[in-house]
């Protein structure tokens, strides 16, 4: 990029994320410091301006699938939203063609400042409301997404259009400020403040929509694996899960493009320690890949029985930070994992081999005692070794936090204990 006769560029890491800015000088022409400093905020804005211009067309193609949903659900806001979107795109294209930002380019956006902020706030609030509802337990999240999938898609699409219309306007305004030579010192301070405030607000909003879309995409992918209904309620009708998945994937891809990142699916989970009679079912691995949180590391997984009032067939799993107990029927039919316990809550573990029976595993946590048994196929050989390994993983997490530890004068050793006893007797 050219700015004031100087060549500028950006430095990116291996994933394509902008990590720094650079100014290129001809070798040997100017001594260090001879050209004077170039404001870092201005270089950041120039880098973002180029990035936004290069991906705008691709983003429009990605979210074409969901545009009709947005138009149908937010008919009242559609005219304003599409107007802001197209005005900001046109201003960015003009700045790219002219190689600068001046009042002629920025004026149409300047007159829409109030609409930009109002529309952005409206859709950001919609997204945050969805995220708030998804803070409940897994069952409630699934129910909410099933009932509100079309609304979530429309609000997410609208938020992206409103957010980036506002963001483009702020970037172009920042470049305009950086090119104003009058009151340069005051403008430098204004530019720094503008860039900091813009990036902070933008990152916060994008964090919300990323959280929402990740949850929606994983839920729809999970639904596609289950023997449940093959469609979702959609603007008074129903749409197939395949259509729903395409919409969720398109929006998630769009967010990744806008953040200059690669959107990819999850790697299929495979436990380091599987405890099964004839190997872990492949379908179970697919379900757990989307039922467990993203980036979960599955250390061990067992086909077990939980002993309560009635013995129940469960899947017992250990991840890097928690363990879970899932009813086998519920997980296979609904993808439900309702009982998740932090490993930090494990207090004591007991493992016992039993004659002619599979072993027994007791896990005592801060709030509950869990008792698991394994069928006779786990009584010997490789299966027994696997259950022992699982018990060892559990045992390695045993801890008693300082705040739960207790002392009593009657148990103070040697002379201290005698001194206390003397005091009691006296």
Instruction: Look at 289 and 1; give whichever has higher pLDDT.
Output: 289
Q: Is the pLDDT of residue 119 over 50?
A: yes
DSSP track, 320-389: SSEEEEEEHHHHHHH----EEEEGGGEEEEEEEEETTEEEEEEEEESS-EEEEE--GGGSSHHHHHHHHH
pLDDT above 60: residue 281: yes
Distance (Å, whole) CA 20 – CA 129: 34
Stretch 353-371: mean pLDDT: 93
pLDDT in tens, 179-229: 777 777 888 888 888 888 888 898 888 888 888 888 888 888 888 888 766
Highest mean predicted confidence (pLDDT) among 144-148, 293-297, 384-388: 384-388
pLDDT tens-digit series, residues 227-237: 766 666 566 56
The two structure tokens encoding residue 408: 């009593």
Number of H helices, E strands in the chain: 12, 13
How many angstroms separate the CA atoms of 384 and 391, rounded? 11
Q: What is the mean pLDDT of the chain?
A: 81
Q: What three-state secondary structure class fits 239?
A: strand
> What is the predicted pLDDT for the residue at 362?
97
- Of 398, 399, 419, 397, nearest to 410 by C-alpha is 419
What are the structural domains, with CATH classification, of the chain?
40-258 (no CATH), 273-403 (2.30.29.30)
């Amino acid at each position: 990029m050219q700015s004031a006769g100087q060549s500028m560029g950006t430095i990116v890491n291996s994933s394509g994320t902008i990590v720094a800015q650079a100014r290129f000088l001809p070798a040997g022409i100017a001594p260090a410091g001879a050209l004077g400093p170039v404001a870092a905020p201005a270089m950041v804005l120039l880098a973002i301006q180029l990035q936004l211009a290069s991906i705008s067309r691709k983003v429009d193609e990605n979210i074409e699938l969901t545009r009709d949903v947005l138009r149908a659900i937010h008919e009242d806001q559609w005219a304003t939203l599409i107007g802001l979107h197209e005005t900001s795109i046109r201003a960015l294209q003009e700045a790219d063609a002219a190689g600068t930002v001046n009042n002629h380019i920025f004026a149409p956006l300047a007159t829409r400042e109030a609409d930009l902020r109002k529309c952005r706030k409206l859709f950001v609030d919609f997204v945050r409301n969805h995220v708030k509802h998804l803070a409940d337990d897994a069952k409630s999240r699934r129910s909410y997404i099933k009932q509100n999938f079309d609304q979530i898609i429309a609000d997410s699409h609208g938020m992206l259009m409103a957010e980036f219309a506002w963001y483009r306007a702020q970037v172009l305004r920042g470049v305009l400020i950086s090119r104003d030579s009058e009151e340069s010192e005051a403008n430098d301070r204004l530019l720094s403040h503008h860039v900091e405030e813009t990036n902070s607000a933008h990152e916060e909003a994008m964090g919300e929509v990323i959280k929402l879309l990740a949850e929606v995409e994983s839920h729809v992918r999970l639904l596609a694996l289950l023997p449940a209904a093959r469609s979702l309620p959609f603007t008074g009708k129903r749409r197939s899960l395949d259509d729903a998945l395409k919409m969720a994937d398109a929006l998630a891809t769009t967010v990744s493009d806008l953040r200059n990142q690669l959107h990819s699916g999850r790697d299929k989970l495979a436990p380091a320690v599987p405890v099964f009679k004839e190997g872990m079912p492949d379908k179970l691995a697919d379900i757990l890949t989307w039922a467990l949180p993203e980036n979960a590391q599955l250390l061990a997984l067992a086909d077990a029985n939980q002993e309560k009032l009635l013995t129940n067939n469960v899947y017992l799993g250990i991840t890097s930070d928690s363990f879970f107990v899932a009813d086998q029927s519920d997980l296979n039919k609904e993808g439900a994992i309702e009982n998740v316990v932090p490993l930090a809550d494990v207090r004591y573990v007991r493992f016992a081999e039993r004659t002619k029976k599979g072993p027994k595993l007791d896990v005592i946590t801060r709030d509950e005692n869990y008792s698991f048994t394994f069928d006779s196929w786990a009584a010997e050989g490789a299966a027994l070794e696997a259950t022992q390994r699982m018990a060892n993983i559990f045992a390695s997490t045993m801890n008693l936090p300082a705040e739960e530890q207790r002392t009593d004068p009657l148990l103070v050793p040697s002379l201290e204990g005698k001194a206390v006893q003397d005091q009691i007797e006296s």
